[in-house]
Amino acid sequence: MKTYLTSESVCKGHPDKLCDFIADSILDACLAVDPLSRVACEVLATKGKIVVAGEITCSYKINIRDIVRCALTDCGYNPSNFSISVFIHAQSSDIAFGVNTALEVRNNKDEQETELGAGDQGTVVGFATDETSTYLPLPLELSHRICKTLDEKRKTKEIAGIKSDGKAQVTIEYRNKVPYKVKAIIVSIQHDQYKDLKELKSEIISKVLEPAFSDFPFDEQTQILINPSGRFVKGGPEADTGVTGRKLMVDSYGGLALHGGGAFSGKDATKVDRCAAYMARLIAKTIVVSKLAKRCEVSISYAIGKANPVALNINTFGTSNYSEKQLIEATLKTFSLKPKDIIDTLKLKEPIFSFTSCYGHFGNPLFPWEQVLDTYTSKLKGELAYGN
């Protein structure tokens, strides 16, 4: 059977990604001075304006405008070209109460242990596949490589005349559910008005695509489109308004797995949109790394203010010798899914989040939720063996 799967990624200076990076930079600044900070930060970027809004409770006052200026510079923009508006207030006391003291503790008057409740309701999804070394779908992995390489070539000026805004898309032909060949590659990159477009195409192919596809090469039948709309001189917030949380598929699994709908950036780890999505990825990846399945999708559902999830589902798409029930039981004995335990296990009070905002939140081996430990694999296998 022949199928085609497509995923996209975007560069660091894409308007939506710029907003994600600013929001996570603000979160990191809060965590650096107060690891117990509560942050729910949204950013909008448009021509000449950056707007920051949301709820922040932090024991120290941070200079949000300075953080925004540094983030703009990092993404290749001149901060003097933007006015910055900030609309921030403290987290709702009602939400804070439910998060600080979980429903399970409130219902047990004799319970002395401190337990965090989930910062919101919702479902999160984790996914892993053995088709790449990062355990991400191949089209997404290749799209991320393109955008990361484009940003590197812009910063080093190895490709002259390219600017901050850009995106990539890759289509892979699968045969019998296995990657077979590269069907199509699309790259759109902002450039200055004097850039020769034929030269740009040649440079993108030789300096970006060939290195990015070195372990899964394209061929003469691959459709390669470089700036198919033509000129791309006007870009970034000047051409397209950006908002946080609008690149959910880029952030997660490229549209090739389910998605709970919650965004990541600008949220501290008490929000299960973020912390539980990271744990779901760790569980799915552990199952695949342990060779208990070739593909795995883990979904976890929470109620606001409640520590324990209300539902856990595991789908291995027929690639496991174990039933969903067996895997769920073993998972619950191997991993704690309470927000407080997730935060402690994955070290989510550290100011690491600005590094996650570009090229996806998954696949980077430096992230704690990507580090499958022997203790996880041995415990999981042991529970499955004992259960049988």
More confident residue, 112 or 202: 202
Task: Band the pLDDT of 287: cuts 50, 70, 90.
Answer: very high
Task: Band the pLDDT of 109: cuts 50, 70, 90.
Answer: low
Q: Which strands, in side-by-side order, build the sheet including 83-89?
A: 83-89, 49-57, 38-46, 242-243
Burial 30-67 (b: 16+ CB within 10 A, else e): bbeebeebbbbbbbbbbeeebbbebbbbbeeebebeeb
What does the pLDDT average to over 293-318?
96
pLDDT beyond 60 at 355: yes
pLDDT beyond 70 at 110: no
Distances (CA, A) of 163 to 25, 175, 204, 233: 22, 37, 13, 9
**Alpha carbons 68 and 26: distance in angstroms, whole number:** 8
List, in sequence order, the alpha helices (H) in 290-338: 324-334
Query: Could you tell me the pTM of the whole model?
Result: 0.95
Distances (CA, A) of 41 to 23, 50, 250, 275: 6, 13, 19, 16
Q: Which of 3.40.190.10, 3.30.300.10, 3.40.630.10, 3.40.50.10710 is the CATH number of 15-106?
A: 3.30.300.10
- Of 91-100, 107-116, 195-204, 251-260, the one with minimum mean pLDDT is 107-116
Q: Which residue has the tokens 């030269």?
A: 199
Q: At what angle do helices 15-33 and 64-74 cross, to 10 degrees?
A: 130
**Alpha carbons 227 and 298: distance in angstroms, whole number:** 37
Q: What is the mean pLDDT of the chain?
A: 94
Do 296 and 287 meet the contact criterion of CB atoms below 8 Å apart? yes
Phi-psi region of 122 (alpha: psi -120 to 50; beta: other; left: phi over 0): left
Amino acid residing at 130: D
Which residues on adjacent β-strands are paired with residue 166?
189
Question: Furthest-apart CA pair in the chain: how many Å?
Answer: 73
pLDDT digits (tens, 9 = 90+) for 217-257: 999 999 999 999 899 999 999 999 999 999 999 999 999 99
Taking the domains of the chain in order of start, what are their residue ranges?
Answer: 2-10+138-236, 15-106, 122-131+247-262+269-387
**Alpha carbons 186 and 224: distance in angstroms, whole number:** 6
Instruction: Write the class of the CATH domain 122-131+247-262+269-387.
Output: alpha beta
Instruction: Write the class of the CATH domain 2-10+138-236.
Output: alpha beta
**Alpha carbons 291 and 285: distance in angstroms, whole number:** 10
What does the pLDDT average to over 321-346?
96
Element housing 147 (H / E): helix 138-156
